Structure 1
Amino acid sequence: MTTRSWKIQRYDHDVHQEVDDEVASEYPLTVVVNDKEFATMVCTPMNLEELVIGFLASEGIIRTYEEIERLTIDEDRGFAYTQTSKDIPIRTDVQKRWLGSCCGKSRAFYFQNDATTAKTIMDSFTITPSECYDLMESFQLEAGMFQRTGGVHQAAIASPEGLLKTYADIGRHNALDKLFGYLLKEKVKRKGKVILFSGRISSEVLLKISKIGLGLLLSKSAPTDLALELAEDLNITAVGFTRGQRMNVYTHHRRVQAPVQGGQRLE
């Protein structure tokens, strides 16, 4: 159950009435890898298979979907059991601060697994401003669960022609991991694709975009400075405040280009 009905007193000035409100469900899921407990995440109980696949890829446990031999989800108990094709030592230090370099520059990663799984994006894909605005409008129209609860984040994969897949979750990282899991499971080609995101562009979000392997992120919210520094280093175009017919292109501006004469995008 992704949402629940909750009786509330809704006020309008000093007048209130009792009504049923819809709230997002919060669900703990423990991921077990090769019979060893790896992590527990709090998520929205939907698309759990994609969530687990994307989470394991984001954490560097797997590189491809084929490395998972078995994935079983016990929704009643809140456990996801995975077996991989090779034995993977589960480190106990993955959440310790670790400083390293990014692309030969003095950029600090918080966690060691980020330094080993982040990728520099090398595509030359471009998109027009109008296509960005249209995609964000479609993305907003897909936000049914947010409109009902106000309590979830949303992530989507798209081409300039339209949205391909959208996921929602109470956790912004979870929404991106679900998207990552879908791309791996369905073997979706990354070339010419865009990620749309409802939340703030933080350094952690930017690193997930890098791990997914896409060079263009459209968000309706603001970025942080560290996220933009990482975007510069990892060759990712970060676009924030995409609302209506306006947006801010913060990094690698060449991917967003107005049409040249004849209406063709530059490649």
Structure 2
Amino acid sequence: MKRETRHIPMIKYEDGKITHTDDEIAEEYPLTIMVNDEEFATMVCTPDHLEELVIGFLASEGIIRYVDDILSMHIDKGRGYAYITTHKQVNSTSSNKRWIGSCCGMSRAFYFQTDAKQAKTVMDDFKVKPEDCLNLMKAFQERASIFKKTGGVHQAAIASREGIELIFHDIGRHNALDKLNGFMIKNKISRKEKMVIFSGRISSEILIKVSKMRLGFLLSKSAPTDLAIELADDLNITAIGFARGKRMNIYTHSNRLLIEESTELDLN
């Protein structure tokens, strides 16, 4: 069984003093995905919840839509391979194998046009109180145990008004969302009145991935990009950034927030 972290020897320098100690480091694990006996992609991830990660990734790529689209799945953790057989033949637009890194941006080898075609306008219009959002973010950060140990992972959660329901972490911010989506697909969990809580920056890629998950509420402690805000507006997704302490910035579709006229929120 792969570990999530490793203890690595190091030399610590602090206030002019040298200490020989060790540090807890997030593990980086390459996983090659084989679909119908063909190599589809190799991704770098945190080696936990690999089945959920693969399901979520394949759904995000448009290879599957439901868990029943998968005929069989076997993950060889020792060799770092996931073998998937689907009921329908996969029509690949390119025979090139892809390496999907743990960082963000074009290293994931995504093509924006293809992703945008799969994005769907979210129709769920449930409402939540601003203070509930801030309380959820507080609970989210309190449960960031691996990040507190390593400082090297992202975290994503599914929550409702009542609290956090699912939470996953990974060295890749896309992977953390794929694990969420994979778990929901695998267990046929309803998307109704659910929100995503996220540790990372809200980029256009992240926004599109949330839209593919058919979720209309994204709450992050980090900043958005301008294109992500434009997409959130078009796709009917409430995008909230800088949710920290008693503050948050609401960028799109504030109609999902139950804000009274007397409520004071710092939107700057």
Do the two structures share a fold, i.e. TM-score over 0.5? yes
State how far apart, in whole Å, the 1-side matches of 2:18 and 2:214 are: 49
State how far apart, in whole Å, the 2-side matches of 1:36 and 1:45 are: 22
Out of 37, 41, 46, the position equivalent to 2:39 is: 37
State how far apart, in whole Å, the 2-side matches of 1:253 and 1:93 are: 43
Taking every aligned residue pair, what percent have the same amino acid on both sides?
A: 58
**Aligned residue number for residue 189 of structure 2:** 188
**Aligned residue number for residue 136 of structure 1:** 137
Equivalent position SS for 1:133:
helix
2:158 is the counterpart of 1:157: yes
Matches within 5 A, 1:199-214: 199-214=200-215
Contact preservation (8 Å) 2:116, 2:208: no
Question: Displacement, 1:17?
Answer: 0.8
**Aligned residue number for residue 238 of structure 1:** 239
Q: Which amino acid aligns with 1:24?
A: A
Contact preservation (8 Å) 2:115, 2:208: yes
2:149 is the counterpart of 1:148: yes
Q: Deviations over 1:49-85 (max 9, x none)?
A: 0000000000000011110111100111111000001
Equivalent position SS for 1:113:
helix
State how far apart, in whole Å, the 2-side matches of 1:196 and 1:203 are: 16
Structure 1 residues not aligned, in runs of 5+:
96-108, 262-267
Equivalent position SS for 1:91:
coil
Structure 2 residues not aligned, in runs of 5+:
98-109, 263-268
**Aligned residue number for residue 103 of structure 2:** none
**Aligned residue number for residue 91 of structure 1:** 93
Question: Displacement, 1:115?
Answer: 2.7
Equivalent position SS for 1:254:
helix
Q: Which amino acid aligns with 2:157?
A: A
Out of 58, 61, 64, the position equivalent to 2:60 is: 58
**Aligned residue number for residue 216 of structure 2:** 215
- CA RMSD for the aligned pairs? 1.9
Question: Displacement, 1:9?
Answer: 1.4
Q: Which amino acid aligns with 1:192?
A: E
Contact preservation (8 Å) 1:123, 1:215: yes
Contact preservation (8 Å) 2:200, 2:220: yes
Question: Displacement, 1:113?
Answer: 2.9
**Aligned residue number for residue 9 of structure 1:** 11
State how far apart, in whole Å, the 2-side matches of 1:111 and 1:223 are: 17
Q: Which amino acid aligns with 1:17?
A: T
State how far apart, in whole Å, the 2-side matches of 1:224 and 1:93 are: 32
Q: Which amino acid aligns with 1:196?
A: I
State how far apart, in whole Å, the 1-side matches of 2:174 and 2:229 are: 18
Q: Which amino acid aligns with 2:59?
A: A
Contact preservation (8 Å) 1:155, 1:195: yes
Contact preservation (8 Å) 2:204, 2:227: yes
Equivalent position SS for 1:230:
helix
State how far apart, in whole Å, the 2-side matches of 1:152 and 1:160 are: 26
State how far apart, in whole Å, the 2-side matches of 1:18 and 1:70 are: 48
Q: Deviations over 1:187-239 (max 9, x none)?
A: 11111111000000000000000000100000000000111111111110100
**Aligned residue number for residue 168 of structure 1:** 169
Matches within 5 A, 1:48-127: 48-92=50-94, 110-127=111-128
Equivalent position SS for 2:128:
coil
Q: Which amino acid aligns with 1:46?
A: D
Q: Which amino acid aligns with 2:140?
A: F
State how far apart, in whole Å, the 1-side matches of 2:239 and 2:261 are: 22
Equivalent position SS for 2:115:
helix
Question: Displacement, 1:117?
Answer: 1.5
Q: Deviations over 1:164-198 (max 9, x none)?
A: 01000000000000000011011111111110000
State how far apart, in whole Å, the 2-side matches of 1:65 and 1:223 are: 31
Q: Deviations over 1:90-133 (max 9, x none)?
A: 221899xxxxxxxxxxxxx9434313321100111111111001
Contact preservation (8 Å) 1:128, 1:259: no
Question: Displacement, 1:89?
Answer: 1.6
